[in-house]
C-alpha cells in the first residue's frame, strides 16, 4: 500500500486526515519571544483581558520588535516543530496585515485596507518554513488554522468540539473556537473514510459493499457533527474573526496589490485565504463516488481544483492516487457490470449524504456570511452566492444517473417512489433557492425559510 505521509500527517486508516500525533500546543523555548507574541495577540486573551489586536497598531509595533529566527528555523527537522512554526508565522502574518482591516470594520461596518507589507523578521523565517513544508506562505487549513491547531482540554473526553481548544487564536472568543474546532471534530471519523476510500480504490476487491456501506455511514456521522455548527459558533459572531482568515488573492478590496514579503521578494505575492474548502472530506467523497465527473466547467470548479495545491503534498498524492484508480475503474460501472444492486443502494446513500452536507453548508453560507455582510467575497476569494449551489447540481445529476440504472430492478431495500418524491423536492428546492439569490439585493433569510418549509432545515 502506498504511503501518504510527511511525518506530521499520514493519510491512512489510523489517522485519517488528522495529524499523527496531537500538534504542539506551544513552540520550543528557543522561540519564546514568538510564542509570547502569539499568546498576547488575540483580541481577547486566555485570561479574559484585551490582547494586542484589541488596540490599533499594537500588534504591528510588537511584531516589528520580534527577533529574526531565520537561522534557527532553517535547522528544524522535527515535523511537529516545523508545523507549529508555520502555524505561528501564518497567524502572525495574517494578524499583522489584517489588523487595520479589522479595526476599520469595527468603526464602519466595512472591511478596510490591509497592511501591504510584512517585515523581514516575519517574512524571512515564514517563507523558509513554508518552503520546508512545501506549502504557500499564507495561513492554511491543514498546518495552521484548523487540523494542526487543536489540543484536547481533557484527554479522556475525546473529540467533541467543546473539549477542543485552539493553540493559536485571532479573536480568542468562543465562537471562533467553536467554528474551527468543529472542523477538527468532524474529522474524528476521517480514519474510516480513508479506510473505505482506499478499499474502494483497490481493484479488484470483493469488499466493495462493505466499504461502500462504511463510506456512507461515516459520511452520515460527519454530517451529524457538521450540523452542530449552529450551536458551536453563533452565526451573528462570525465577523468577529472572519477578517483574519482572508486571503491576499481575490480579495482586492482588502489587498489591492497583493502582499510584499520584505527581505524575500521584491514583487508582491498573492495566495488564497483559509477556507473549509481546503478540507478533504467532500473532495474524497466526490472522487470516490464519481460526483466529480459531474462538476460544472466553471470558475468554482477551477477554484476547487486550484485549492488542491493549498494542501500538504501527502494529501495531494492521496487525491491523485484515488482519482487515478477511480478513473481506471469507475465505481458506477463496476456496480452496473456486476449487477450489484445492494452496492447501488449504498452508493445512493453516499450521494444523499453529500447532498445533505452541501445543502446544509449552503445554509451556513446564507446565515454566517450573507446575513452578516454585504461583502460578496468569501475568505478564499470566491463570489459566494452564485458558486456554491453549482456543486449541489453536480450531486443531483449523479443521483439521477444512478437512479436510471436502478429503476428497472426490484430491490427490497429501496423504495423507488419515496426516493423519486424526495429527489424532486431537492430539485425544486435548489431551483427556488437559485431564483432567490439571482436577485442582486436578495434576502438570505428567504433561502433559510424555504429550506425550513421544504423539510431541509439544517438544525
Ligand atoms: C459556518 C460554517 C461555514 C461557512 C460560513 C463556510 C463557508 C464557505 C464558503 C464561503 C465557501 C466558498 C468557497 C470559498 O471561497 O472558500 C465554502 C466552501 C467549502 N466549504 Fe465551507 N463553510 C463552513 C463550514 C464548513 C465545514 C464545517 C466544512 C467541512 C469540514 C466545509 C467545507 C467546505 C467545502 C468542501 C467547500 C468547497 C465547496 C464544495 O465542495 O461544495 N465548510 N465554505
Using DSSP, state whether 168 is helix, strand or coil. coil
pLDDT digits (tens, 9 = 90+) for 213-234: 999 999 999 999 999 999 999 9
Place of cell 433559510: 448
Residues of the chain above pLDDT 90, percent: 77
Nearest CA owner, ligand 1 atom 8: 365
Q: Residues 67, 120: contact at Cβ < 8 Å? A: no
Alpha helices in 8-78 (DSSP H): 32-40, 58-64, 70-75
pLDDT digits (tens, 9 = 90+) for 39-89: 999 999 999 999 999 999 999 999 999 999 999 999 999 999 999 999 999
Using DSSP, state whether 455 is helix, strand or coil. coil
Nearest CA owner, ligand 1 atom 42: 276
Nearest CA owner, ligand 1 atom 16: 380
The DSSP string of 184-243 is HHHGGGHHHHHHHHHHHHSSS-S-HHHHHHHHHHHHHHHHHHHTTHHHHS-GGGGGGTGG
Fill in the DSSP letter of residue 6: -
Cell numbers of 340, please? 450489484
* 151 bridge partner residues: 165
DSSP β-ladder status, 150-152 and 164-166: antiparallel
pTM of the model: 0.94
Which atom of ligand 1 is least distant from the CA of 226?
27
Is pLDDT at 191 greater than 60 in this prediction?
yes
Alpha carbon of 17 to ligand 1 centroid (Å): 17
Least confident segment among 24-38, 266-280, 324-338, 379-393: 379-393
Of the CATH numbers 3.30.1360.40, 3.30.300.170, 1.10.10.10, 1.20.58.480, which one belongs to the domain with range 29-453? 1.20.58.480
pLDDT of residue 333: 95
Which atom of ligand 1 is least distant from the CA of 378?
15
Amino acid at each position: 500500500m502506498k504511503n501518504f505521509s510527511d511525518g506530521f500527517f499520514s493519510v491512512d486508516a489510523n489517522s485519517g486526515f488528522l495529524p499523527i500525533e496531537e500538534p504542539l500546543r506551544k513552540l520550543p523555548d528557543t522561540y519564546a519571544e514568538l510564542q509570547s507574541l502569539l499568546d498576547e495577540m488575540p483580541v481577547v486573551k486566555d485570561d479574559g483581558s484585551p490582547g494586542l489586536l484589541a488596540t490599533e497598531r499594537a500588534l504591528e509595533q510588537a511584531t516589528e520588535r520580534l527577533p529574526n529566527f531565520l537561522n534557527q528555523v532553517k535547522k528544524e527537522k522535527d515535523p511537529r516543530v516545523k508545523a507549529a512554526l508555520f502555524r505561528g508565522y501564518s497567524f502572525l502574518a495574517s494578524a499583522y496585515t489584517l489588523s487595520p482591516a479589522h479595526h476599520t470594520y469595527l468603526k464602519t461596518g466595512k472591511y478596510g485596507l490591509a497592511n501591504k507589507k510584512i517585515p523581514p523578521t516575519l517574512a524571512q523565517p515564514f517563507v523558509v518554513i513554508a518552503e520546508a513544508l512545501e506549502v504557500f506562505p499564507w495561513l492554511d487549513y491543514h498546518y495552521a488554522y484548523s487540523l494542526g491547531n487543536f489540543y484536547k482540554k481533557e484527554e479522556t473526553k475525546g473529540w467533541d468540539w467543546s473539549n477542543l481548544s485552539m493553540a493559536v487564536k485571532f479573536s480568542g472568543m468562543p465562537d471562533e473556537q467553536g467554528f474551527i474546532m468543529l472542523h477538527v471534530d468532524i474529522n474524528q471519523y476521517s480514519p474510516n473514510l480513508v479506510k473505505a476510500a482506499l478499499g474502494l480504490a483497490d481493484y479488484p476487491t470483493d469488499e466493495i459493499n462493505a466499504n461502500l456501506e462504511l463510506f456512507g455511514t461515516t459520511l452520515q456521522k460527519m454530517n451529524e457533527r457538521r450540523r452542530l455548527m449552529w450551536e458551536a459558533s453563533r452565526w451573528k459572531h462570525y465577523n468577529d474573526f472572519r477578517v483574519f482568515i482572508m486571503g491576499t488573492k481575490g480579495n482586492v478590496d482588502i489587498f489591492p496589490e497583493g502582499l510584499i514579503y520584505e527581505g524575500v521578494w521584491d514583487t508582491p505575492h498573492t495566495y488564497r485565504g483559509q477556507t473549509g474548502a481546503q478540507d478533504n472530506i467532500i473532495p474524497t467523497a466526490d472522487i470516490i463516488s464519481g460526483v466529480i465527473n459531474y462538476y460544472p466547467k466553471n470558475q468554482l470548479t477551477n477554484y476547487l481544483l486550484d485549492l488542491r495545491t493549498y494542501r500538504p503534498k501527502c494529501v495531494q498524492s492521496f487525491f491523485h492516487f484515488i482519482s487515478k484508480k477511480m478513473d481506471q475503474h469507475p465505481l458506477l460501472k463496476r456496480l452496473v457490470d456486476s449487477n450489484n444492486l445492494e452496492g447501488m443502494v449504498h452508493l445512493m446513500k453516499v450521494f444523499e449524504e453529500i447532498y445533505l452536507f452541501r445543502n446544509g453548508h449552503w445554509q451556513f453560507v446564507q446565515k454566517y456570511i450573507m446575513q452578516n455582510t454585504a461583502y460578496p467575497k468569501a475568505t478564499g476569494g470566491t463570489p459566494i452566492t452564485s458558486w456554491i449551489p453549482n456543486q449541489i447540481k453536480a450531486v443531483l445529476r449523479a443521483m439521477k444517473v444512478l437512479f436510471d440504472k436502478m429503476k428497472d430492478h426490484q430491490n427490497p431495500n429501496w423504495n423507488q417512489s419515496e426516493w423519486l418524491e424526495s429527489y424532486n423536492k431537492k430539485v425544486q428546492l435548489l431551483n427556488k433557492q437559485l431564483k432567490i439569490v439571482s436577485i442582486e439585493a436578495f434576502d438570505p433569510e428567504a433561502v433559510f425559510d424555504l429550506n425550513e418549509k421544504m423539510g431541509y432545515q439544517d438544525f
